[in-house]
Amino acid sequence: MRRNAHAKIIKQMNIGTLLKNIRAHGPISRAELVKTTKLSPTTVSVLVEELLQEGLVAEIGTGESSGGRRPILLEFQPTSRLAVGIAIGVKTTTIAVLDLDGKSLITNSYTPDLSNPQVFLQDIVNYTKQILDTSKNLGPNILGIGVATPGLLDPDKKNILYSSSLGLTDVPLYDALERNFSLPIRIDNDTNAAALGEKLMGAGQRISDLIFVSVETGIGAGIIIDNRIHGGASGSAGEFGHTTVEPAGFPCKCGNRGCLGVMAAEPAILNRAIQMLSIGAKTEITTYHHGSPAQITLEPIVRAAKHSDSVALSIINDCLDYLAIGIANLINMFDPAAIILGGSTLEALHPLGIERVRSTVKKRVLPFHGQRTYSIIPSQLKDRVKIVGASTLVFSEFLDYVDVLATDEDRHHVDGYRIVD
Ligand SMILES: [Zn+2]
């Protein structure tokens, strides 16, 4: 029995190695796979046959001959497995069918009705039905439905307990989907899903310990430890936006004062700008914003900052410094190999945001970390991070056996792109 289990693990690892190589280096011949994977020709031949039958790879013609018969080339088939991703947002909810490369094959978006929880749930069900109908021609390969939602979930990841941004409490999301669909359903907080998305299909590939930090109207963190989302004892880890960075700071909705979210998220930047404009500060922001101070948006502040306007820069940098202090604390606490910065506000601030965060973190983090590898890198999936993240809630279970055990070689790869110095 134990011997069988052992053989099964080895087989899965070998299949994983082959699939990774075909995915990364395809089109590739069996002979080249023997060379790159160091597996025996028989093992490669038997396992490739299995991958062909599963539809995960396909033979796509012949390559150059090195004498003798022209070799048959193999290619990874990302559309052989699909997932429905649902990214719930305040302004827009996106539903898509995605493939194993994180590409959306069909996408649909709508504005959610947040005034009535029943309508909110019924809309999700209706739009999901619609997209499943449209995707019938894609074959029976949909592995499940993954949902990325703002807010706090119960430990079983079935109900939204509370979301301040959606303004909803106790929403039975899992039951609503389960009643209507026979597919497996996976639900998680959107920042956790985003972290997993970056880990499997974005900037965090091959990195086993990373933290995705999102800055929008609020701030959140998705923590990946040893390739898994770190949920904590009750599933609510990652409430980075409610860590205190200023004891006497502004009051937060949570009842505390000086939470990172109120000190550094987008509304904090806008409020500082409103203050400066209201006292008539001399700033280039007024070149790009002609309305009343209260109607300011992020864009004119960013434009002025990119033209080196000192007022705009100090508004943005004050907020980014709070963020960086929080990130330095995360690095000291969790020792991640990478911090991935995302969310619409940081996207808009790019590259000013990441540059300031890197330099402030360097000053704030324990000096010991200066000798070590940690990178602060931008999100690779950008505005698609939540929908791709939603799909990876489903794909992660399937990809697990593809991504079995990160190798030492992979760890060196991470060292190779050290960014902070
Ligand atoms: Zn708070």
Per-residue pLDDT of 161-213, as tens digits, reads 999 899 999 999 999 999 999 999 999 999 999 999 999 999 998 899 999 99
Residue 413 has a pLDDT of 38
Residue 145 has a pLDDT of 97
Residue 65 has a pLDDT of 79
Q: What is the 332 CA–ligand 1 centroid distance (Å)?
A: 21
Q: What is the 214 CA–ligand 1 centroid distance (Å)?
A: 15
Say whether 106 sits in a helix, a strand or coil: strand
Separation in Å, CA 278 to CA 251, 273, 304, 318, 319:
21, 8, 17, 18, 19
Mean pLDDT of the chain: 91
For tokens 């700008």, what's the residue? 273
Question: 159, 191, 223: which is the final residue of a domain?
Answer: 191
Same domain, 240 and 310: yes
Pair type for strands 142-149 and 185-189: parallel
Q: What is the 149 CA–ligand 1 centroid distance (Å)?
A: 19
Q: What is the 325 CA–ligand 1 centroid distance (Å)?
A: 16
Task: Identify the weakest region by mean pLDDT among 161-175, 190-204, 323-337, 394-408.
Answer: 394-408
Q: What is the 346 CA–ligand 1 centroid distance (Å)?
A: 20
Same domain, 98 and 59: no
- Reported as a pLDDT band with limits 50, 70 and 90, residue 416 is very low
The total of structural domains in the chain comes to 3
Same domain, 358 and 399: yes
**Spatial separation of the C-alpha atoms in residues 367 and 363, rounded to whole Å:** 8
Task: Identify the weakest region by mean pLDDT among 17-26, 253-262, 402-411.
Answer: 402-411
Same domain, 327 and 371: yes
- Reported as a pLDDT band with limits 50, 70 and 90, residue 408 is very low
Q: What is the 239 CA–ligand 1 centroid distance (Å)?
A: 9
> Phi/psi of residue 61, each to 5°?
95, -165
Say whether 12 sits in a helix, a strand or coil: helix
Q: What is the 310 CA–ligand 1 centroid distance (Å)?
A: 29
Higher pLDDT, 262 or 418: 262
Say whether 338 sits in a helix, a strand or coil: strand
Closest CA relative to residue 313, chosen from 288, 278, 342, 284? 284
Residue 418 has a pLDDT of 34
Q: What is the 259 CA–ligand 1 centroid distance (Å)?
A: 5
Task: Identify the weakest region by mean pLDDT among 8-17, 207-216, 295-304.
Answer: 8-17
For tokens 């305040």, what's the residue? 90
Q: What is the 217 CA–ligand 1 centroid distance (Å)?
A: 13
pLDDT at 3 > cutoff 80 = no
Separation in Å, CA 324 to CA 213, 245, 364:
11, 10, 8
- Reported as a pLDDT band with limits 50, 70 and 90, residue 61 is confident
Separation in Å, CA 90 to CA 113, 229, 368:
9, 24, 41
Report yes or no: 419 and 203 within 8 Å, Cβ to Cβ.
Answer: no
Residues above pLDDT 90, as percent of the chain: 79
The predicted-structure confidence for 74-122, as pLDDT tens digits, reads as follows 999 999 999 999 999 999 999 999 999 999 999 999 999 999 999 999 9
Q: What is the 255 CA–ligand 1 centroid distance (Å)?
A: 6
**Spatial separation of the C-alpha atoms in residues 20 and 404, rounded to whole Å:** 10
Q: What is the 163 CA–ligand 1 centroid distance (Å)?
A: 13
Task: Give the mean model confidence (pLDDT) for residues 210-226.
Answer: 97
Give the residue numbers spanning the domain of 44: 2-76
Q: What is the 237 CA–ligand 1 centroid distance (Å)?
A: 14
Same domain, 170 and 217: no
- CATH code of the domain in which 63 resides: 1.10.10.10
Report yes or no: 121 and 127 within 8 Å, Cβ to Cβ.
Answer: no
Q: What is the 253 CA–ligand 1 centroid distance (Å)?
A: 6
The predicted-structure confidence for 226-250, as pLDDT tens digits, reads as follows 989 999 998 889 999 999 999 999 9
Report yes or no: 98 and 388 within 8 Å, Cβ to Cβ.
Answer: yes
Closest CA relative to residue 97, chosen from 126, 122, 150, 134? 134
pLDDT at 414 > cutoff 60 = no
Q: What is the pTM of this model?
A: 0.90
Q: What is the 324 CA–ligand 1 centroid distance (Å)?
A: 17
Residue 326 has a pLDDT of 98
Same domain, 15 and 52: yes
Task: Identify the weakest region by mean pLDDT among 3-12, 190-199, 202-211, 276-285.
Answer: 3-12
pLDDT at 373 > cutoff 90 = no
Say whether 48 sits in a helix, a strand or coil: helix
Q: What is the 250 CA–ligand 1 centroid distance (Å)?
A: 10
Q: What is the 161 CA–ligand 1 centroid distance (Å)?
A: 17
Same domain, 273 and 340: yes
Residue 402 has a pLDDT of 53
Q: What is the 256 CA–ligand 1 centroid distance (Å)?
A: 5
Same domain, 216 and 229: yes
Residue 287 has a pLDDT of 97
Question: 36, 52, 76: which is the final residue of a domain?
Answer: 76
Q: What is the 246 CA–ligand 1 centroid distance (Å)?
A: 11
pLDDT at 369 > cutoff 80 = no
Q: What is the 129 CA–ligand 1 centroid distance (Å)?
A: 37
Task: Give the mean model confidence (pLDDT) for residues 1-27.
Answer: 82
Q: What is the 209 CA–ligand 1 centroid distance (Å)?
A: 26
Neighbours of 72 (CB within 10 A): 15
Q: What is the 262 CA–ligand 1 centroid distance (Å)?
A: 7
Q: What is the 192 CA–ligand 1 centroid distance (Å)?
A: 19
Q: What is the 183 CA–ligand 1 centroid distance (Å)?
A: 36
pLDDT at 267 > cutoff 90 = yes
Same domain, 135 and 230: no
| Joined tokens for residue 186 | 């996976």
Pair type for strands 210-215 and 338-342: parallel
Same domain, 172 and 315: no
Same domain, 126 and 207: no
- CATH code of the domain in which 345 resides: 3.30.420.40
Assign residue 255 a region (left: φ > 0; alpha: ψ between -120 and 50; beta: otherwise): left
Residue 182 has a pLDDT of 94
Q: What is the 418 CA–ligand 1 centroid distance (Å)?
A: 33
Residue 406 has a pLDDT of 34
Residue 279 has a pLDDT of 96
Same domain, 370 and 259: yes
Question: 125, 157, 191: which is the final residue of a domain?
Answer: 191
Report angle CA 165, 170, 173 to the nearest 5 degrees. Answer: 90
